[in-house]
Amino acid sequence: MPLSGVKVIEVGMNLAGPLVGEIFAGLGAEVIKIERPEGGDDARGWGPPFLQGTSPIFQAMNRDKKSITIDFKDPAAMAHLRELIAQADVFVQNLRPGVAEEIGLGPASLLEVNPKLVYCSIAAFGHQGPLQLKPGYEILLQAFAGLMSTTGEDGGPPLRVGAPVVDFGTGMWTTIAALAALRKRDQTGKGCVIETSLFETALFWVCNALHQYLVDGTVPPRHPTGSPRQVAFGAFETKNGLLIIGVANDRLFAKFADVIGHAEWASDPRYRTTADRMEHRDFLGGEIKATLLGKTKEEWMALLEAAGVPCAPILSIPEVLAQPQTQAMDIFRSVSGLDIRMLGLPFSFDGERATFEKKAPTLGEHNHEVGVTAAQKPGR
């Protein structure tokens, strides 16, 4: 794998930090996860359900890693951890703000030990400003950065996005930055400090709304499944349920109009461009809704797909798993020691998907293998 020979030390909890280690592990790096002797990563207990004693999300975020336990208050254990970090390429931590510095794992301290180290620090609200020491979780940052204000039914309460997009996004941004830093280190021989945060990620996810407001001062309305800039874009009722339709440009609108029996709309000056359609969106939207109620979602899908108009049903989780397309992607793989197939990384190299060979480690499973003579036994 591309990162074979790279060593990562992860002091990660919950989701954002562990995802960085998970991606590195999937790419072939050796990832050593540092956990507290008492309980380890909090995500171990995020159940039910449980899979071999740990939560499913912990299993998903920690495959192919090694777990060792370190008592951060034990000077001998910390000295040994610093020895491990001195041999590492990447260090990742998402401890509560200020803790890394308090226990001797801050960037200045570790770069002194290992000048080639790529040090990744993940915060909640950022590494500067009045809230830099404020802790936070996914839901807090979705609220604070405005993401919830853009989600939900128009006129209803703001809603959280169902997936942990802020945690996962922060883990991905951190990984991207770390890979770029490793590339630079190959050229300069020097490591660096990477700073990311849940807040910055959440802000990036609402960049469209932020920029729209900065341009014209309009507060973007909530669009639960639609778009504030397109008319025929979102969830539409049919004779037997909702269908998602994505008409995102003038060419697709002409095809869409023809399919639903209104080919004249494509040449109507009220509807020729996106801006024209937005100006008349109330009337046009009403016409579209009334027309789509005339057939079932299956009938509309057949017609729209034949014309090349993007559309999709709204599937439940069991339906997603049963989809031939899901199965064809071969993204669910067997993991040694588990009786379920688990989701792999969403990319491939020359047609070969990165895979995980081992399940998430038990707490302190690799203390002896890594040679952590000063580590504390789990549960001490």
For residue range 224-245, list pLDDT tens digits in order. 677 767 888 989 999 999 999 9
How high is the pLDDT of residue 373?
53
Report helix, strand or coil for 299.
helix
Instruction: Examine residue 326 and state whether it is found in any structural domain, yes or no.
Output: no
How high is the pLDDT of residue 221?
77
Helices (H), 44-127: 56-61, 75-86, 99-102, 107-113
Residues 35 and 151 in one domain: yes
Cα–Cα distances (Å) from 246 to 87, 280, 300, in that order, read 50, 18, 13
Instruction: Examine residue 226 and state whether it is found in any structural domain, yes or no.
Output: no
Instruction: Examine residue 17 and state whether it is found in any structural domain, yes or no.
Output: yes
- For residue range 58-112, what is the model confidence (pLDDT) as tens digits? 999 999 999 999 999 999 999 999 999 999 999 999 999 999 999 999 999 999 9
Task: State the amino acid at position 323 in one-letter form.
Answer: Q
The residue behind tokens 């912990």 is: 58
The answer to whether the Cα torsion of 372, 376, 377, 378 is positive or negative is negative
Contact 305, 252 (CB under 8 A): no
Q: How far apart are CA 68 and CA 31, in angstroms?
A: 11
185 strand-pairing partners: none
- For residue range 7-30, what is the model confidence (pLDDT) as tens digits? 999 999 999 999 999 999 999 999
Residues 119 and 13 in one domain: yes
How high is the pLDDT of residue 357?
85
Q: How many domains does the chain have?
A: 2
Instruction: Examine residue 154 and state whether it is found in any structural domain, yes or no.
Output: yes
Report helix, strand or coil for 155.
coil
How high is the pLDDT of residue 374?
43
Residue span of the structural domain in which 52 resides: 7-205+331-370
Question: CATH number, domain at 39?
Answer: 3.40.50.10540
Contact 161, 146 (CB under 8 A): no
The structure's pTM equals: 0.87
Cα–Cα distances (Å) from 124 to 21, 135, 167, 177, 262, in that order, read 18, 6, 10, 17, 50
For the chain, count helices (H), then strands (E): 16, 13
- For residue range 97-151, what is the model confidence (pLDDT) as tens digits? 999 999 999 999 999 999 999 999 999 999 999 999 999 999 999 999 999 998 8
Q: Exposed e or buried b for every residue in 33-68, given b needs 16+ CB within 10 A? A: bbbbbeebbebbeeeeeebeebbbbbbbbbbbbbbb
Share of the chain above pLDDT 90, in %: 76
Instruction: Examine residue 324 and state whether it is found in any structural domain, yes or no.
Output: no
pLDDT band at 340 (very low <50, low <70, confident <90, very high): confident
Residues 11 and 87 in one domain: yes
Residues 335 and 280 in one domain: no
How high is the pLDDT of residue 379?
47
Instruction: Examine residue 218 and state whether it is found in any structural domain, yes or no.
Output: no
4 has pLDDT over 80: yes
Long-range contacts of 331-337 (CB under 8 A, 24+ apart): 335/63, 335/359, 337/52
Q: How far apart are CA 358 and CA 31, in angstroms?
A: 12
Report helix, strand or coil for 229.
coil
Q: How many residues does the chain have?
A: 380
* Mean pLDDT for all residues in the chain: 92
Residues 335 and 310 in one domain: no
Residues 165 and 253 in one domain: no
How high is the pLDDT of residue 380?
41
Catalytic residues: 167
Residues 195 and 339 in one domain: yes
Long-range contacts of 285-288 (CB under 8 A, 24+ apart): 285/231, 287/262, 288/231, 288/232, 288/236, 288/260
Question: CATH number, domain at 294?
Answer: 3.30.1540.10
Contact 139, 160 (CB under 8 A): yes
Instruction: Examine residue 214 and state whether it is found in any structural domain, yes or no.
Output: no
Residues 38 and 149 in one domain: yes
Contact 92, 122 (CB under 8 A): yes
312 strand-pairing partners: 244
How high is the pLDDT of residue 224?
66
Q: Is 356 exposed, middle or buried (0-12, 13-18, 19+ CB in 10 A)?
A: buried
Task: State the amino acid at position 156 in one-letter form.
Answer: G
CB count within 10 Å of CB 368 equals: 11
Residues 194 and 310 in one domain: no
Instruction: Examine residue 210 and state whether it is found in any structural domain, yes or no.
Output: no
Residues 145 and 19 in one domain: yes
Residues 13 and 159 in one domain: yes
pLDDT band at 377 (very low <50, low <70, confident <90, very high): low
Residues 115 and 184 in one domain: yes
